[in-house]
Amino acid sequence: MTGLMLTPGKTGSKWTLRFTSPVTGKRRDAGLGVYPEVPIADAREKALGMRRLIDAGKDPIEERDREQQAASITAAALTFEKAARKVHEELKPGWRNAKHADDWIRSLEAYAFPLLGQKKLDAVTPADCADVLRPIWLEKAETASRTRQRMHAVMQWAWAHGHITANPVSVVDHILPKQNAKKEHQPAMPWRVVPAFVKKHVTEFKQGEATRAALLFLILTAARSGEVRGAVWDEFDLKVGVWTIPGERMKAKEPHRVPLSAPALALVQRLKEQKLHEALVFPSPRGKVVSDMVLTSFLRRVQAQSDTPGRVATAHGFRSSFRDWASEHGYARDLAERALAHTVANKVEAAYHRTDLLDQRRPMMEAWAVHVQSCSSAAVPTSGPVLT
């Protein structure tokens, strides 16, 4: 296309359209973006749009300046938090489950909003974005990556709607140190500490029935947070004491049976009698699935001890607590791995996993429950309201 050029510079190559202004008669250069972020097809499309304005007797730079000025007026009233919540609402219908939608906005609430929430969109700088990510960039790399992606989506939306001229999140990699490939470790509570924690904060704590009930059940079953929080009554056979989680709710997409220890079964039976919700076992006060952040906030509030200095234990970390306990007490690795519903990467070993060893796992889960309750006189009452 006539006038379209790729101009090299110190920080990279830039697309430029050189034209003669139909308004002033002077030669002008209009920037179209940085290569390769703006590929040639996009550059040509932008240039064509400008050529149409020129053919109509308009100066594309002046038109763009007017649009940006109008966008700045709008952006002056639009903060990062307001934009993020708008983007969240627009994207939510396309996401496959409510948990992802919830995690998306909560990660921004936890990390981005404290620093960026009240900033105007056009005032957010790359340095601001780096400041958000820096505390978690190396120690919580996976969390930082997800938060960065979501911040980028918000600012990309702002750019697409003319509120900003460039996405400041795009360059934070050049400000922050290089991340290593180490997988983020979930802080776990040492297994010896679990009984005292359960007695002090779970059995006797007087707030949030669903929170404590779900956390106690999670500890007793060594299940994942999402599996517990999304549990519904149809998954339970209380006569035989088995909880069957359907494949669509499992990480490996395979059904998983959990033998319920006596305390776990008693807890579920009492909740069933209370009829807190028609479908959900652990409903929130609003009758919805309890958020993962509710458990996280609870553990932070009580400063749950972990094996990672400076960090509190996570709900997921109780699976590691169980795994360490099982290993210390001589239980077969295969039994513990089945209890945790871990997938088997080794094809030869996987060939022998034709049974879930439910009956063999039951004594192990009973012994784990005894350990969990060893500091409590009665972790689950046999009569009266549970965890009130």
Residues 126-152 have pLDDT tens digits of 999 999 999 988 888 888 999 999 999
**Dihedrals φ, ψ of 380, to 5°?**
-130, 115
Please give the pLDDT value at position 357: 87
Residues 180-207 have pLDDT tens digits of 755 556 889 999 999 999 998 888 644 4
Q: Is the peptide bond before 60 cis (omega within 30 degrees of 0)?
A: no
The verdict on domain 194-372 having CATH code 1.10.443.10 is yes
Q: How far apart are the first and last CA of the chain?
A: 73
Mean pLDDT over 336-349 rounds to 70
Please give the pLDDT value at position 73: 61
Instruction: Sketch the domain layout of the chain as residue ranges.
Output: 4-74, 80-174, 194-372
The verdict on domain 80-174 having CATH code 3.40.190.10 is no
Cα–Cα dist 241/229, whole Å? 19
Question: 77: helix, coil or strand?
Answer: coil
Taking 60 as the threshold, does the pLDDT of residue 384 lie above it?
no
Question: Out of 26-35, 148-157, 335-344, which region has the weakest mean confidence (pLDDT)?
Answer: 335-344
**Dihedrals φ, ψ of 289, to 5°?**
-65, 130
The verdict on domain 4-74 having CATH code 3.30.420 is no
